[in-house]
């Protein structure tokens, strides 16, 4: 399997996991989604917005030199005021990532990516893993908050998401 194949699988998983959590949180209702849970970005909704911000910053702005996306006010958590706002933002981010994925190659994965908030030398492949692992960390915060609510979290396991099945975790 090539690195491109692995990155494609990783991005597919990230999207499926994100959408699983978005659906699960949506079932709780807007009031519960926006409640301060004392997690890194306070509410479930703000955490989802942050995850999208991360994907957009690394895989749209930095990877595609589209820095103007960072100036769009619809990406700020305080401007995401409904499920429709979140859906529109999610669709925009994934559309930007799809544009990057369309011509992804091994050579492109080895290309350098620079961001103003972090020093060092890293590649586009690193950027994919950075955004993916950051999503995983924040999904972990949401999972912990679900457990504190005595609720089962949305599905996030690799194999069940790939197969479209649900696995009960005890």
For 22-60, the pLDDT digits (tens) are 999 999 999 999 999 999 999 999 999 999 999 999 999
pLDDT surpassing 70 at residue 170: no
pLDDT tens readout for residues 64-89: 999 988 888 888 998 899 999 999 99
> Is residue 122 a contact partner of residue 113, using CB atoms and an 8 Å limit?
yes
Q: Phi and psi for 121 in degrees, rounded to 5?
A: -115, 125
pLDDT in tens, 126-156: 999 999 999 999 999 999 999 999 998 988 8
Contacts of 21 (CB under 8 A, 6+ apart): 48, 139, 142, 153, 154, 156
For the chain, what is the domain count? 1
CATH label of the domain that carries residue 13: 1.20.120.450
Full residue range of the structural domain in which residue 145 is found: 3-163
pLDDT of residue 155: 81
In a domain, 104, yes or no: yes
Residue 123 pLDDT greater than 80, yes or no: yes
Q: Return d(Cα 89, Cα 163) in angstroms, integer.
A: 26
Q: Does 126 reside within a domain?
A: yes
Residue 169 counted as domain residue: no
């Amino acid at each position: 399997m090539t690195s491109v194949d692995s990155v494609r699988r990783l991005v597919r998983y990230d999207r499926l996991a994100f959408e699983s959590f978005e659906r699960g949180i949506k079932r709780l209702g807007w009031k519960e989604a926006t409640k301060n849970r004392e997690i890194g970005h306070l509410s479930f909704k703000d955490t989802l917005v942050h995850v999208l911000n991360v994907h957009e910053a690394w895989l749209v702005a930095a990877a595609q030199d589209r820095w103007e996306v960072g100036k769009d006010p619809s990406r700020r958590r305080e401007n995401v005021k409904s499920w429709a706002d979140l859906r529109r933002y999610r669709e925009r981010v994934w559309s930007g990532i799809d544009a990057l994925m369309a011509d992804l190659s091994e050579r492109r994965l080895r290309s350098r990516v620079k961001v103003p908030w972090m020093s060092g030398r890293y590649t586009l492949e690193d950027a994919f893993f950075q955004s993916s692992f950051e999503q995983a960390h924040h999904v972990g915060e949401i999972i912990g908050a679900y457990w504190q609510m005595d609720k089962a979290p949305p599905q996030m396991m690799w194999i069940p998401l790939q197969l479209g099945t649900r696995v009960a975790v005890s």
